[in-house]
Every structure is written in structure tokens, then in C-alpha cells.
Structure 1
């Protein structure tokens, strides 16, 4: 079977990136164990899970990238489609040419926000009500951009979106309106070899954290008192194929999805890292991570499978992390 369009032209270039050696094990590392796949999805129907947000009951809200759907998966593996983004007649999405739903964020009242990349005026942030239903576009982003990771600062009523094509972070008012470029730096840019720069995005510890797939890095951008972006800090390197990520506790230890290599990487606060799950555990090009209490959720999109692609949702146990 041919590879799916997403990043297909990029696969060879990614493998050429050098990977730094992982650091030694630490006594303070959280452990990830007992992985199990709770549901398998339909690759042919475009049910390639790109991003994840968790519900209070432990259910996972997933964006099915090429199906243009947002679906909810319970911990016992029951999947329900909540909404479908509008079909685009002639999508011109950069690097792909297909319309995809990417990042997702959840408000406390259950409202969902998703990024939609289309190459048209429909590119931007869309809102889905707590009960599902028809999505509504609340902000338009550049048609030649690629909105990817998405995070919500509900206290400041602001959404942050990583743009993989332009290599910037956008700030979007929660009520909708005109987005502004919040962070713009060479550390966020794509490269000629890998045209996907800023990718995953999380708000954590007074900062916006961003992964850069092209540079294989994890970045921290402090949020200043006036809400502007501070100087970008490179917190980890050598994370070849990094997509999205999530933090394990109150510190800066994170779990990062390495899509190309079908690995889940533990990234310590000092920047060293080690692999904790692989394809042997059920990963198939993992795209994102979510952690709540003692459970880690890892969606796999199987974008680069050459035969029998297995997009799925994997759950595992994670120990408490003191870091």
C-alpha cells in the first residue's frame, strides 16, 4: 500500500537527520508500562488520529486528520464521531494538497477547538459545541499556512496555534476574531529538507512549549507579564521525527511522540531522553500524547505504513513523577 500523503515526501529527508544519544536512566524517571491498544481505526476511511484532548471521564477526543472528523473514544474502545469539518472542493494545503484536521483543545465546559488546514479560506480555528454538531470557524489563518498543534489558555481566553509551514505561533482570541503572530523566530521554522517546523504545542509552567519536527527540538517560550513571547529556549535536541508531546507531572519531564520511528520518548527536564515504547508495543507512527493521573494515551496514525496500516489508540500505565 502506498504511503499516506501526509509527510510522505518528507520521510526520506527525516531519516537523514542526526539523532543525539539518549541520556542515561535516572532514578527519578517515571515508568511507562502495560501498553494496550484499546481501539483500531479505518485507515482507508482517513481515520488517522492526529491529535488528542481528554474528557473528565478519561475518554479521548481525537482528530481524524484525513476523515476531517472529531471522534470520542472511551477507555473501553467505543468510538463515536462528534463532528465532521466541511468538505473542501479543491484543497491546496501546503505540502499535502489534502484538507486535514490537526490540533485539538478542550475548554472546561466541553467546547472543543480544532485546527483545520485546507489551503483555502477555511484554514483556521474551528469550534465544536459541548454536544457536538456543526463546527463553526472562529478565526481564519493564512491559506498558505499549516495550523498544527493547538492549546488553550482559558484564564486569558486565548488559543495558541503552531503553524508548521510559516514556522510561527499564532495567538487567537477565544471568542474569535483576528489572529496575531505571537512568536516568530528561526527556531520555529521548517527547513528545505523537512517543510514541517513548529508542530506540537502545550502550555506548561508559565510558558508555551513547541516541538519543531524539522530541527528535532523541544522549545520553551516564556510568557511575559504583558503576555508577549519571551526569548525562545531550546530544551531538548536530537528528537528525530518529533510530533506532539505531553508533560508527565508538575515538572518539565515530557513524553514525546516520534512519528517517523514509531517511538514514545521520555524527555527529561535536562534535555536527555530515552525510548519507553516502540512499534513492538503497538505504536504505528504516533502523533500525539495525553497524560492524566496514571494513564498515558498515545494515538497512532500509521501514516507511513507500507502494508496493513494500523491507526489506533494505545493506553499505558505511568508511574507518578516527582520531577
Structure 2
């Protein structure tokens, strides 16, 4: 792959990165003794930026290994301790990509089914833009949903019970819903605009132009982050599968990308990747937040978070950092949960 120009990939985002670092601290609140803390941060994997190994999204395996999407390499890879990344699949090359904001074809949101099947968002600016199914055993890929070529399908979530995927479109400010099963003869299916509205939309220039970004499912709701607006949103799923009113659960999260829930069941405490300021924030159920990890711990434009037991996984794509340092950081989650 030819040498990559970091700042040219996200020209508008790069312009606000420095300002975002300063703004992120303004909305932070003091840390409570009863909330989770992150300790023992350590970078366990370093990646090759020149080869496009910019980890964007993460989905964990039962054994603790991690699947990641390498955005600029158009790849899905598996990371295991003390091993080089194993490439599970490479998405097809695009002759003339016209992806909004980035200009090149990129793999973004990633989700895993219980049988090991992986789903990934692929943004190209062409008819290949959509949700793709990856067979990790055979390395085969198939487009199962056609998403708007003028969009940027970013975060991705899987509801296996309903048999649907939710994809957050950062440009069109839409959460798309698509079935996991492709039609046997019609090829990829067209999506349903499941949730729309101003809360999901990006801001106009000079903002980055990135609205709905990260996406996670939680207790009968779809949670979405809005990068431009620094918000964390909750969208209830009605019994008939339609979207309920969009709720704003947190504000002031400047440069929020994807996120994860700290607890499997207890409450809605969130660990959020703040990409521009190279931080991870603990977002409390009441909407306030504090910073748990910073660039001093090894973060370099983190893009997503995953939690397995007491282990927190944070991939960093290093889009704006010089020199680049894309990596995977692990930290220990100390669950000082307070029930009141």
C-alpha cells in the first residue's frame, strides 16, 4: 500500500482535534469513589500504520481474542496475545472510491454473532457501500445490505433475537436497520431508515461533519453517539421493532467515537472513546463524566472500547498523532459499583 497521509484522511476532523482537547476537559466532573476506575493500562499490540492497520471497531471472541476492522487496509483481523494480527478477510478493492470525508474505501463498524460470523460496515462512495458478512473460517465476504453511497456507515450493532443489524450513518444522520439474512436471489437488500432526526445529524462546517457514529445495543434500546454534538443517545426499540423517541443521555463528550457498557447488567455506565483528545471517559448514568485514560497511558486517537469481565480493550487508530502509533491498549476495570 502506498504511504498514507494521516491528516488528509480526515481533513475536517484534523482541523478541530487541537480545540477538542481543550474543550473535553470543560465538561468533566470529579470522580466518585463509587464508580468504576481503570488501572494498569498497558499497550499490548502495535500496528503498522503504513500498511493501513488503523483499528476502528472491535468485537471480542469467547477466548478473549479480539476481532478488529483495520479501516484503511479494508481488512478484518483477529488479535491474539503474543501473535501477529491474523487477517480474516479483505474487502474488495474499489477502483474509484468517493467515500465522504475520507475519500478512500474503509472498513468501519464490526459486530459478531454467537456462531462466530462477523458483520462489518464498508464505506466506499460506490454501490459497494453497505453491510458485509464475513466468514472467518474461510475468509469469504458477501455484501448483504446496500447502504447509501453518499453516506458513511460507521457503528454497527447486531440483534440476533430479531435477526437485524443497526448501522449508524455519520453523514446522513440515520440509523439504518437491515436483516441479517440476504435474499437468496436479489442480492443485497435495501435498508430501512429506522431512526432519523436532528439529534443524529452532523453539524455544518466548520464542524467535522460526523454525526451518528458509535452504536451499541442495551436492554431493548439502541444507543448511539454523535461525534459533532458530543452526545450519547438512547433510542428505545418498541415491541413492534420501530424506534421510540430519541433520548439524550449525556452531553459534553467532545469527539466521542464508539463506546461500551462497563457492566453486563447493573446500570448504564459507559466507557467512551474520545478520539480527538486521546482519552477514555467514564460516563455515569446521570450523564456526567470523568476521564479514566489519556494519551499518557498510551492512547492515540482511540476509536472504540470493549469490555470482557475485568478487562477493557481500547484500539487506537492514531489518525491525527505524529508520529503515528496505532495500537491496542488493555486496562483493568475495577468495578466499584454503587447501587444507589
- Map 1:1-150 → 2, pairs under 5 A: 2-13=5-16, 15-16=18-19, 18-19=23-24, 20-150=26-156
- Provide the secondary structure at the position in 1 that maps to 2:12: helix
Corresponding residue for residue 262 of structure 1: 278
Unaligned runs of 5+ in 2: 183-188
Contact 1:8 1:304 (8 Å CA) reproduced: no
- Out of 311, 316, 325, the residue aligned to residue 310 of structure 1 is 325
| 1:28 Cα deviation from its structure 2 partner | 2.0
In the aligned structure 2, how far is the partner of 1:124 from the partner of 1:4? 25
Match of 1:247 in 2: 261
Question: 2:303 matched to which residue of 1?
Answer: 287
For the residue of structure 2 that corresponds to 1:10, the secondary structure is: helix
How many equivalent residue pairs? 322
Which of 219, 243, 250 is the equivalent residue of 1:236? 250
Partners of 1:5 and 1:286 lie apart in 2 by 18
RMSD (Å), alpha carbons: 1.5
> 1:14 deviation in Å?
5.4
TM-score, length of structure 1 as denominator length: 0.96
Alpha-carbon distance between aligned partners in 1 of 2:11 and 2:332, rounded to the nearest angstrom = 32
CA contact 2:7–2:14 (8 Å) conserved in 1: no
**Partner-residue secondary structure (3-state), 1:135:** strand
SS for the counterpart of 2:16 is helix
1:180 aligns with 2:227: no
SS in 2 for 1:37: strand
Structure 1 counterpart of 2:167: 161
Residue 179 of structure 1 deviates from its aligned partner by 1.1
Unaligned ranges ≥5, structure 1: none
For 1:66, what is the secondary structure of its paired residue? Answer: helix
Rounded Cα–Cα distance in structure 2 between residues aligned with 1:235 and 1:90:
40
288, 297, 319: which is aligned to 2:334? 319
Tell whether the 8 Å contact from 1:248 to 1:321 is kept in structure 2 after alignment: no
After the TM superposition, which parts of structure 1 deviate over 4 Å for at least 4 consecutive aligned residues? Answer: 14-20
Q: What is the rounded CA distance, in whole Å, between the counterparts of 1:115 and 1:243 in structure 2? A: 15
Deviations 1:188-227 (A, max 9, x none): 0011122110000000121100000010100011111111
How many Å separate the matches in 2 of 1:172 and 1:2? Answer: 34
Q: Distance in 1 between matches of 2:158 and 2:138?
A: 19
Q: Which residue of 2 aligns with 1:204?
A: 218
For the Cα contact (< 8 Å) 2:11–2:101, is it kept in 1? no
SS in 2 for 1:96: coil
**1:188 to 1:9, Cα distance in 2 relative to 1, 3 A:** same
